[in-house]
Structures are given as C-alpha cells and as structure tokens.
Structure 1
Amino acid sequence: MRSLRKTVLLAILASVVLVLALLHSWPTRAYTTVDLWQQPGLLVERHLEERFQEPDHQLSNIPYHVRDSVASLLARNSCVCEGESGGVNLPFTQLLFPRVSAHPLHTAFEASELEEMKRRRAKEYKSFQKRSKTAADVLIIAEANSPLQYPTQGVDVRPLKTIIIPGLAVHNLPRDHYSINITATLGTLNVAAEVDAVRIKGDGEMHMTISSSLLPNLNRQLQFVTYTNTLFNPSTVDTVQFETEGHQAVFSIKIRHGVTPKLYNTGSKGEYNVSALVTIATKTFLRYDKLQDLIDSIRRYYPTVTIVIADDSENPKTISGPYIEHYIMPFGKGWFAGRNLAVSQVTTKYVLWVDDDFIFTANTKLEKLVDVLERTTLDLVGGAVREATGYTATYRQTISIEPGEEDGDCLHMRRGFHHVIQGFPNCVVTDGVINFFLARTDKVQQVGFDPRLARVAHLEFFIDGLGSLHVGSCDDVIVNHASKIKLPWVSQSESDKTYAKFRYPSASSDATHTKNGLLYFKNRFQCLTHN
C-alpha cells in the first residue's frame, strides 16, 4: 500500500513538473489570424472610388474623330480566333506561304461534359486570380497639382520587418497649420525620431497623424516615418493612404521575402568550361542505335560533359560510360515526363536539351550559346537543326495571348521573332524555339514540363513559360538531325514501327485531345491560331 502511495505521489510530482515546463516554454506572443485569401485591392478600389470626381460633362460634348489605324490595335472586350481561307493546296505551300489556321479548343471535350468543364474551369480561374492578383495591380491615378510628395514604386519590406518610408513630403502649400494623415492596412506606422514643434498622434497604429505649424519641421519629421508589417502574408501589398486637407495620394508597399539566389560554382578558368557549366539532357524511347550515335558525336567534341538520359523503353538496355547517367522510367511514361526526370537530375548552371537522334558536328559550338546566356538576361537560347537535305530550321515562334471573356483567352502563335540581340547578330529574341536549346537549369525546373503531355508536345512548355521565360534563338549553332528518309528497299524494324506508333499519333487520337484539353482547361484558352 505504501509502495502504491509512493508511486502515485511521484506521478503527480512528475505531472506538475511537466506542466510547469510547458508553461515556461509556451510562447507568449499573441498570434493573429490572417485571411490568406484577402484581396486588399478591393478595399483600395473602394477608397479610390470615393475620391473620384463626377465626370466632367463638358468633355462629353466635345466631338472627336477615331483614328482607325491606332484604335484597331486596342484590346477588344472579347477575342476571336480567325483563320485565313482560300489558297491552293500544293506541296510545300504551307511551308513557303504559311496561312493562319484557327482551332477551337472546346472540341477536346464531349458536348455532354462541356458545361461542367466550363463551370470547373471558371471556379479554378477565380481561385487563380485570388492567388495571383494584389493591390499592386490596382490602377492608381495621381491627381493634378498635388502638393504631396510620395514614392510611386520601389518600396519593399520583408514580412514582419520595419522600414523607413522614403520620399514623404509636402510642398507649396501655404497654411497656418499643417496636418498629415497616413493610413496602412497590413502594418503599423511610427517614427524613428521626433522633431521639435511637431505633434504625432497614433504612432504605433495603422493610422497616424502628424501636424505642425512649421512646414520645414513637418517635412523633417516625415523623413523619419516608419512602416512595420504586422500581418505575416508574404507576396502581398499594403496600399498606404497619404493625405492632407483637400489632397489625397495612395502608394504601395510590397511585402515580400527577398529572392534567395541559386549560384553555381563553375571553377576558376577564365574561358568557358563547358563541362562545368553544361549538362546535356535527352529522352529516349527504343532508338538505342540513334542514341549511341548521339553519344559518340558528343564525345568527339565534349568528352567530359555529363549526359543525362531518361528512358521509358519497354525493355531498356544498359547505357553506360564515363559521365553518363541513365534513368529508367515506366514503359511509355511519355515525352514531357522524361524531360522532367532528366532536367531534375541536372546540377550544372545550364542544361542543353537535345533529341536522341541528333548528331553533334564542328558547328555545334556550345560555347557560343553559353556566351549568349552569360552576357544577356535571356533564360533560354535555341540553336538550329540541320536535316539531311541541308534544310536548317530554328522553329522560332512568337506567342501572344489576347484577352477574352468567360469563354477564355485566345492564343496566337506565329513564325518569327521580335528583334535582333545587340552584340549577337545571329541571335534574336523570340518566344519559342526548336528542340535544341541551352537554358538556365533553375528556370527550366521552375516552368517544368506537364507530364500529361506524353506523345505530342513541344511549344506547350513555352506557352507555360510565357511571362517568366526570356527566350532567344541563334542560327549559327547547328546540330545535325539523323536522316528520316526511308529507302523503299529497306524494311522497317519492329522497334521503328513501335516508335512511330507512339511518336506520331493520329489527329483524332487521345494524345491530341489531351493537348487541346489542357490548353482549354489548364491555360484557359478558348481557341488557337497559328501559321
């Protein structure tokens, strides 16, 4: 009995000690609840609407004449995809005289499921807009002749940190007494120093008033105004109101973490060390003879560059050798899934993408592509692919998106480029390039390759990267393409037949429907035009 009582007392004592330890270590900070779906832009819009004056009806009575050449360039309320009709279908006509064709994308779905697909897409798009839009996207118009001086851009604060708001001042406002109101919504206002003859009210709160009868003293005090972010919600914007009697202004403070750099140690050599800078990545399927030809040609010019191979063949063969990494995938996993796997294993600053039936030659100067990326802001630069016939292709594409309404936007792709790159006369800026390109590894990994695109895909990567990938193309760095000419007396092997079945599906196949379905739902396009 005494032993049991002793055990109970020890248990109670241990519990008390544990509770005291928990109380001692319990955080004393009061946590707040933050609405991560908040849209501060809506609040700002209401404030701005209150400031807008009634439209000047005198202006509406002034006649004007539309300049069609300029007005036609403005975005319309809704976009339309229109193709070019007519023309004669002769061999090579589309190559020599390309016509624009238009394709509605909703046809990827059955009529019975289209309405449900539209509803789900609209729901997802609304969620996307909430995540991607901030108060920084709200239009702010500066009023005429405002005496208020304030920052228009470039004010950043780290989450839960404090900064001095630069540039606040009042000018050319003769009065006996001056009063300034500053209001924030995601943080508090204060002053880092106090100036004589200035009265401060509300310091440490979201609304602060600074007043003085001496304008120089008031402006001196404004130089010490601080902003402290108090709601942890990175990648948002606090819209600050700055006003005095009869005058109001609004400016933005971006709340965000600094970008963490990803730097690559490429060695101490003065000239470009391609082996330290570049990894060559490829995806293979059944064509081991062509893959070996590719490897042999690479080794002729770059014997120590790492080659990463993603392989989804049904009966994979061993590919080994110095500086070769061979990764096996499930059978028929697909084109973009293989790209993802290969690129995920790259540890160098740049990745060179090649098809498994390319052949390196003396014209495949990777140093030139490296030089372009090292000396410009480009993220990716394509080269040229030479066919056995001598024809050389760069497959340069410009990609643009025309805003639409509920039906979605319109995607337009055209052959061509935007402009030549200064210092590189053989290189241009464009939006999409051929399957032979050198890119910053981290940027390619950020965009990624949609693994649902298993058979038919290429430009979809550049469509997903539009707005984040800065793309170029150089036609003086050339890789050869193994001949695809079929001699009539040479029979096709079983592996070639299987490859063709997977690689070239019919236009009515599931692969084509998948591609169009993703453009329709994932990217929210209603139609596509291209030439």
Structure 2
Amino acid sequence: MRPVQKSLCVLMVLTVSLAFLYHHVWSPKPYSTVDLRHQSDRMPEQPLNDLLLVPDKKYAHIAFRIKEEILESSSDSASDAEDLTGMFANLGPSLHRLLPKNSCKCEVEPSMNLPFQKQLFGRLYSLEFANAFKPSELPDINNKREQEYRSYRWRSQSPADQLLIVQANSPLEYPVQGVEVRPLQTILIPGLSLQAAARTLYRVNLTATMGTFDVAAEVDGIKVEGTGGMHLTMLGSQLDNLNRQMQFVTYTNTLFHPNTADTEYNISALVTIATKTFLRYDKLRTLIDSIRKFYPTVTIIIADDSKDTEHVQGPHIEQYFMPFGKGWFAGRNLAISQVTTKYVLWVDDDFIFTSRTKVEKLVGGAVREITGYTTTYRQQISVQPGGDNGDCLRIRQGYHHIIEGFPDCVVTDGVVNFFLARTEKVLQVGFDPRLSRVAHLEFFIDGLGILHVGSCSDVVVDHASKIKLPWLKTESEKQYAKFRYPNSIDDSMNIKQSLFYFKNRFKCMTGN
C-alpha cells in the first residue's frame, strides 16, 4: 500500500500545483482594466479664477495706488469692472484688463480716417459666426456644441492644468503650475506670498526668462526695483505690506518659445516639397521645372484631384491621385502624410522658384516650426476668452517681434502658402478636409498654441501671372475658375463660419 499511497500523494501535489498555476495565469484579474483618465468626477474648472485673485481681508487696511501708466494705457469702459469682487471691484477698468474676463465682444476698433487707409491697413470687419445657422437651428446646435466642448475638456484636462501653489517652505509661496499666459499678454501672478519670521527688512527677488515683471499698483512702505524688466525686487520692513504688494505683481510674455536652428544643409535629406494641384498641369510643370533648376534631387510630392488626370513623371517625383474635386485641405493632408523628411516645404502649384528662393535660408533660420516668405500677409491671431457663447477671434496684419539672430525674420501667427515647416508639427495640426477650395488661415488658427510661426523677408518665390485675357484662357483654366471663383461664395463662407462656431467654439471674429 505504501507505493500506491506515495503515488497518490505525488499526483495530488501535481494537481494542486497545476490548479494554482492555472488560477494565477489565466483567471480574470480585478485590475484587468485601467482608467487612463486623469479627471475627477466633476468638470474641470478654469486654471485661473477671479476668486483666487481676491486678497485676504487682513490686507484690506493697507493703502495702495494704481500706477499712472496703467490708467493712461487703459481703453476699457467702466462697465468692464462690474464683474469684479472684493478689492478688485474698486480698482476700475485699468486693472480688470489684466484679468480673465467672463465674456468677450467682437467690436471693430475705432480708427482715424486716413488717406488710402483700406489699402495700407486693410478693411476692418466683424463677423458673428452664429449667423451661419438658421435661428431655428441654433438651440440644437448650441446644445451639441456644449456637449462636444465638455467632452473635449474632459479628454484634454490634465492635473498639470490645475493651479498649484508651493507652500512657504522656501519661505516664498508661488505657483508652480496651472498659470496660463497667452503669447505677448499680461496676467496678475496668483499665490505670491512670503511667510517668514520677524526681521527688520524683507526682500523678495523674482526672475523671468521669457517675459517681464511689473506691478499694477504700488503699496505704501514697499520699494520696488526693476519694473518692466526680467528681474524684479521688492523690499520693505512690514511683512503684510510686502504681501499686499506681491498681489499686484504682473507678468507679461514678451517672447515666443524659441527653438534652436538646424546647421545641416543637405536639402535633399532634410526637405520635401509638397503641393496640391487641380486642373492646372501647365502651371504645375512650370513649377517643377523651376525647382529642378536649383534643387534637382529634392523629392516633390503632388496630391491631384483633377478629373482628367495626367501623369507627371520624373526623378524624385511622387504623384497621388484622389477622387475628383476632393478638396484643397484633403489634398494637403494626403501630400504631407507621405513626407518622410524632417521638413516639408509647402508651395502652390502656380509658384515659380527663382534665384532668391533660397530654401537653405529657411532651414538655417527655422527657429520656428513654420517659416514663410515675406508679404503683406503676416497675421497676428489672438483669442479672447468668452463665456457660454464662445470665444472671440481677433486677426490683424503685422507681427510680434524680430527673431534674435535673424534680423530678416519676425515672429507672427500666419503666413502665405509658401512655408517651410517641421513635418511632425504640420501633422499634429492637420488640415480640416471639410474646407474645399478656399481656405488657408484656418490651418494657422487650428495651430494656435502648437505652431511657432516666423516670416522671413530674404526668401522670395515668384508667382505665375493671374492676368489673362478671357478669350485666351484654355478650357482647363475656365473650368478651374468655376471651382476656385464660384458665382456665389455664400456656401463656402457658411461652412467656414459654422466650423469656427462649432469646432473652434468661436462666437465672432474681427480683423482687417
């Protein structure tokens, strides 16, 4: 019996071991699913709230005076201060212009009547995007837009967006995350405070790297040095007065985030030229011939949605066909999706390269993700926060500042259809395929906060003449004109405005 008992014992041990192994490896685990969302159960709040800027009551007795230059530079109406609470309600419109507002308005700015004003500065305009819909459609559209917006905020909100103030271990309290400064705009810095032991003199030094400090008001008994610069010093013998002064410290962004310039100049290995063509094979071949005079080995990628297609052949040429009339932005997506080099140079199919079209300069000076050639089409694009009805889009001609080290290049927000870009950045923004024949600025609007845009005046590309007598136009040119310049532009404008209203959550736009 002993051998039998021993065999049974061994068999039982093996059975139990195998059962345990099965249970451990193949049985369902309580942690088989992972929630990747960082959000809490409630909707995320704005990083900065007006209530965070209201001072503690213990500082209410300390006197202060608004700086005269802020009063003089303010152009807001007195009604703008009605929403402020506590101490800030008494500061008037001069300080409110630095705070996040509950709503924005698209109002054409008054200007002097100058000779040739329209030709020099452009026509001022104001658009309400809700007008793209019928009044009966708006309630349903607004409901869907709000659901999409809440869903977007739920997906995109991160713990890093929440305001976090470092406690006074240093002994300075200051924000380490959750403070948003729009490019070249000014904010009041929340959470600045000094919690130190008693002493005869208190001193706080602040240093910035991409902007400047100032104070919106001056507090009695506090000496402030370095206003308007990157280093600010505040001194005083009374701790409460110093803390009251720090609640008026402002920060102004003065420099877009700079990237380093590339020093490689093997253009064929770095750059791909991409274009979209539609019914204009004669102009496309002229473009290719001009490129080959200066860059014989650079790859050219062509997206083509013509009806009667023609094969454009040659070394280093890739042509991709699309359904007829698929569209301008859809073609851009297709062409750029095939780029494998670090940079992509976008050109229209009726451009012509000349001896001044130096792509090397764009690569060597590409300290921004987008670098375009100079023209009057340099756009400053900004978004003013709004309320439930959406934000306000503001577009103006011009640029922000010169790029250090590149005196012929400036920082702007939008350039023409000749630009060099980092391929990964263009893919990150993408082109909305719902925009068919007339679109361009929409790409840079979608790229706000993602793209850093420059414009250089020392790189120039030529353009095929648009002037041609009607009886000399070819059939393809006449057909192209019907698509490019339709008799009615109402449909395309409605599509643009509806996208701005629903997708971008803009309620209106002003510009020139």
- Verify same fold: TM over 0.5: yes
Question: Any idea what SS the aligned residue of 2:446 has?
Answer: helix
1:503 aligns with 2:493: no
- CA-CA distance at 1:324 after TM superposition: 0.4
Quote the Cα distance in structure 2 between the aligned partners of 1:141 and 1:279: 46
Aligned equivalent of 1:467? 449
Secondary structure, counterpart of 1:462 in structure 2: helix
The more displaced of 97-106 and 282-291 is 97-106
CA distance 1:18–1:279, shift in 2 (3 Å): farther
Which residue of 2 is the match for residue 326 of structure 1? Answer: 319
Amino acid at match of 1:297: S
Corresponding residue to 2:494 among 482, 499, 513: 513
1:12-31 equivalence runs, <5 A:
22-23=22-23, 25-26=25-26, 30-31=30-31
Which amino acid in the other structure matches residue 155 of structure 2? R
Structure 2 residue 300 is matched with structure 1 residue 307: yes
Change (3 A) 1:19 1:295: farther
* 2:345 equivalent in structure 1: 352
CA distance in structure 2 between the aligned counterparts of 1:62 and 1:149, rounded to whole angstroms: 23
Q: Secondary structure at the match of 1:500?
A: helix
3-state SS, counterpart of residue 401 of structure 1: strand
Q: 1:69 aligns with which of 54, 73, 77?
A: 73
Q: 1:430 to 1:43 in 2, by over 3 A?
A: closer
TM-score normalised by length of structure 1: 0.66
Query: What is the letter of the counterpart of residue 329 of structure 2?
Result: F
Which is worse superposed, 98-107 or 433-442? 98-107
Q: Deviations over 1:63-113 (max 9, x none)?
A: 8668363526334321111125799899x7522242421111111111111
Specify whether residues 135 and 108 from structure 1 end up closer, same or farther in structure 2 by C-alpha distance, changes over 3 A only: same
Which segments of 5 or more consecutive residues in structure 1 lack a partner in the other structure? 1-15, 155-170, 174-265, 385-392
Shift of 1:493: 2.3
Q: What whole-Å deviation, never above 9, does each CA across 1:392-439 have from its counterpart, x for those lacking one?
A: x25111100000101100000111111111111110111111100000
Q: What CA distance in whole angstroms lies between the structure 2 residues aligned with 1:61 and 1:297? A: 71
Q: Any gaps of 5 or more consecutive residues in structure 2?
A: 1-15, 75-93, 178-194, 198-261
Q: Which residue number in structure 1 is paired with residue 386 of structure 2?
A: 404
Q: Which amino acid aligns with 2:137?
A: E
Which of 352, 361, 371 aligns to 2:364? It is: 371
Deviation at 1:134, TM superposition (A): 2.7
Task: Trace 1:65-214 onto structure 2 (pairs within 5 A).
Answer: 67=71, 69-70=73-74, 71=94, 73-74=97-98, 75-83=100-108, 94-142=118-166, 146=169, 153=176
Provide the TM-score with structure 2 as the length reference: 0.68
Question: Of the candidates 408, 419, 427, which is equivalent to residue 401 of structure 2?
Answer: 419
CA contact (8 A) 1:350 1:439 kept: yes
State the Cα RMSD in Å: 3.8
User: How many residues matched?
Assistant: 390
Residue in structure 2 matched with residue 38 of structure 1 by the alignment? 39
Q: Take 2:56 and 2:400, find their aligned partners in 1: how far apart are those partners?
A: 40
Q: Contact 2:44–2:154 (CA<8 Å) still a contact in 1?
A: no
Report how far residue 61 of structure 1 moved.
9.1
Structure 1 residues 24 and 296, CA, compared in 2 at 3 Å: closer, same or farther? same
CA distance in 2, matches of 1:54, 1:426: 46
Residues 475 and 446 of structure 1, relative CA distance in 2, 3 Å threshold: same
1:58 to 1:150, Cα distance in 2 relative to 1, 3 A: closer
Q: Is the 8 A contact 1:433 1:473 kept in 2?
A: yes
Render the CA deviation track for 1:248-281: whole Å, top value 9, x for unaligned.
Answer: xxxxxxxxxxxxxxxxxx9xxx851111111000
1:39 touches 1:130 (CA, 8 Å); kept in 2? no
Aligned runs of 1:243-392 on 2, under 5 Å?
A: 272-373=265-366, 376=367, 378-384=368-374
Structure 2 residue aligned with 1:161: none
Counterpart CA distance in 2 for 1:43 and 1:408 is 17
Distance 1:97 1:419, change over 3 A: closer
Distance 1:275 1:54, change over 3 A: closer
Paired-residue identity, %: 55
With 505-514 and 108-117 compared, the bigger mean Cα shift is at: 505-514
Q: In 2, Cα distance between the equivalents of 1:431 and 1:127?
A: 28
Give the Cα–Cα distance (whole angstroms) in 2 for the partners of residues 331 and 487 of structure 1: 27
Contact 2:163 / 2:175 at 8 angstroms: preserved in 1?
A: no
Q: Which residue of 1 aligns with 2:84?
A: none
1:199-238 pair list within 5 angstroms: none
Offset from partner CA, 1:344-393 (integer Å, 9 cap, x none)? 000011000000000000000000001012xx3x1111114xxxxxxxx2
Once the two structures are overlaid, the 10-residue window that deviates more, 77-86 or 341-350, is 77-86
1:497 shift after superposition: 1.8
Amino acid at match of 1:23: H
Worse overlay, 430-439 or 499-508: 499-508
Secondary structure of 2:451's counterpart equals: coil
- For 1:119 and 1:59, how far apart are their aligned partners in 2? 43
For 1:111, what is the secondary structure of its paired residue? coil
Q: Distance in 2 between matches of 1:18 and 1:498?
A: 76
When residues 307 and 414 of structure 1 are mapped into structure 2, their CA distance, relative to the original with a 3 A threshold, is: same
Name the residue aligned to 1:436: 418
User: Do the aligned partners of 1:41 and 1:136 also contact (CA within 8 Å) in 2?
Assistant: no
| 1:168 match | none
Contact 1:354 1:437 in 2 (8 A): yes
- Give how far 1:505 is off: 3.3
* 3-state SS in 1 of match to 2:345: strand
Specify the alignment match of 1:260 in structure 2. Answer: none
The 3-state SS of whatever aligns with 1:404 is strand
Change (3 A) 1:495 1:19: farther
Closer, same or farther in 2 for the Cα pair 1:37/1:116, shift >3 Å?
farther
SS in 2 for 1:332: coil
Instruction: Quote the Cα distance in structure 2 between the aligned partners of 1:419 and 1:33.
Output: 46
Q: Secondary structure at the residue paired with 2:60?
A: helix
Which letter maps to 2:482? K
Alignment-derived partner of residue 4 in structure 2:
none
- The answer to whether the Cα contact below 8 Å between 2:164 and 2:175 also exists between their aligned partners in 1 is no
- Give the conservation status (yes or no) of the 8 Å contact 1:108–1:513: yes
CA contact (8 A) 2:43 2:154 kept: no
Report the equivalent of 1:213: none
Cα displacement (A) at 1:502: 1.2
The 8 Å contact of residues 381 and 437 in structure 1, kept in 2 or not, is answered as: yes
Q: Is residue 2:67 matched to residue 1:56? A: no
1:522 matched to 2:503? The reply is: yes
Displacement of 1:149: 9.1
Structure 1: which amino acid aligns with 2:449?
Answer: G
